[in-house]
Amino acid sequence: MFTGIIEEVGKIKGKRNRGEGLEILIEGNKIFQDLKVGDSISVNGVCLTVERIENKIFSVFVSFQTIQQTNLGEIKIGECVNLERALKIGDRVGGHFLTGHIDFKTKITNLRKESEFYLMKIKIPQEFKKYIVKRGSIGVDGISLTIAEIENNDVLIYLIPYTIENTNLKYRKTGDFVNIEIDIFAKYLVK
């Protein structure tokens, strides 16, 4: 489980095909305080397992299914990713509960600055629209965000300067793919 409060922005240092999957090397800094092999880590919202640690670089394996359903399949060396270690029992939950199981990837259809904040618009597939509510939570590349408005299948999210500066959103632009995790509690309530 994760909270969607990004601990740091890491950088892709390498990637290589491994069987039907992909091994990715990620450089970080803060997350190494107590990171160990076998730990779960959220990379752009995707729950992955740390396989190796060397200096300030760790490796993860991305399965074929994850390559197909997330933006990690198209990740490039040098690209920045959001990183969060798994939640510890007793920690504060500043965002909302995220499992790291991505529901779909979608394009940012609009990302623009408006005075002190940014406006981001993403499209939600019809099958997931029933889980989306105004002022509800949504995970975007592992970031816990609040839905401001819903217009048909478009979701509008206002981003404060702190979120832009402390996540990979500062490198995103209209047309980029982001990973989306629907609020798990919304899924359970509808079910």
pLDDT > 90? residue 93: no
Q: Are 10 and 27 in contact (CB under 8 A)?
A: yes
Co-location of 140 and 73 in the same domain: no
What would the pLDDT profile of 7-59 be if each residue is shown by its tens digit? 999 999 999 999 999 999 999 999 998 899 999 999 999 999 999 999 999 99
Co-location of 118 and 79 in the same domain: no
Task: Tell me the C-alpha to C-alpha distance, in Å, between residue 31 and each of 24, 35, 50, 178.
Answer: 16, 6, 12, 22
Domains identified in the chain, total number: 2
Domain boundary among 25, 53, 85: 85
What is the residue range of 160's domain? 104-190
Gyration radius of the chain's alpha carbons: 16
Q: What CATH number has the domain bearing residue 162?
A: 2.40.30.20
What would the pLDDT profile of 39-52 be if each residue is shown by its tens digit? 999 999 999 999 99
